[in-house]
Amino acid sequence: MAIKQTIKYDSERDKSFPQEIMSRPGCEKLYGCIQCGTCSATCPVSTYMDYTPRQLMALTRAGFKKEALGSLTIWLCASCYACTVECPKEIKITDIMYALKRQAIQEGIYPKRFPIPVLAREFYNMVRSKGRVTENFLAVMMFLKSNPIAAIKTWKLGLNLMRTGRFAYKLDSMKQPAKMATLLDKADTGWKGGAR
């Protein structure tokens, strides 16, 4: 994938954004980045990213929120931790990727039909409402919201799953799913208030 090279202006920066990200656990050392590029060189998927990990660290640190949260990079990150292990400044790049993903979903700034954020969002919604995940329902929701044509093309697989009894016909649920929603809301409030 071609790396984006565009001129950025100071007026486009959200100056509170770096602090917001650095308030998340594991992200505190972002300002220490020396732009050495070791993370980009180590990353096994950087060639497919729109911004390399080094570029993403620079964009985040400089407050280019829209670019950082809207990038494909955060969704292509395979969480292999290779960059985190090699970073000479001990920056937890993988944790920063997670913080950016989480914020992108909270603010609705993510590539809308890209399957990975759609899957993450549907997964969260299902866990929040039912306390459990029913895999085939999750897959169907992901396909319908990201690529409905692909959903139709997988009809044979669906049929085979039904024939072999591997297809759940109703959503699995814990006994008191509301408790899960309360738990998740509490965890969110804890982070927003900087309590963790």
Residue 77 is a binding residue for ligand SF4 (CB under 6 A): yes
* Cβ proximity to ligand SF4, 93 vs 109, nearer residue: 93
For residue 118, the minimal CB distance to ligand SF4 (Å) is 19
3-state SS record for the chain: CCCCCCCCCHHHCCCCHHHHHHCCCCCCCHHHCCCCCHHHHHCCCHHHCCCCHHHHHHHHHHCCHHHHHCCCHHHHCCCCCHHHHHCCCCCCHHHHHHHHHHHHHHHCCCCCCCHHHHHHHHHHHHHHHHCCCCHHHHHHHHHHHHCHHHHHHCHHHHHHHHHCCCCCCCCCCCCCHHHHHHHHHHHHHHHHCCCC
For residue 95, the minimal CB distance to ligand SF4 (Å) is 9
For residue 7, the minimal CB distance to ligand SF4 (Å) is 21
Please list every residue from 30 through 69 that binds ligand SF4, using CB under 6 A: 33-39, 42-43, 45, 53-54, 57
Of positions 1, 3, 80, 183, contacts ligand SF4 by CB under 6 A: 80
Please list every residue from 90 through 109 that binds ligand SF4, using CB under 6 A: 91, 93-94, 97
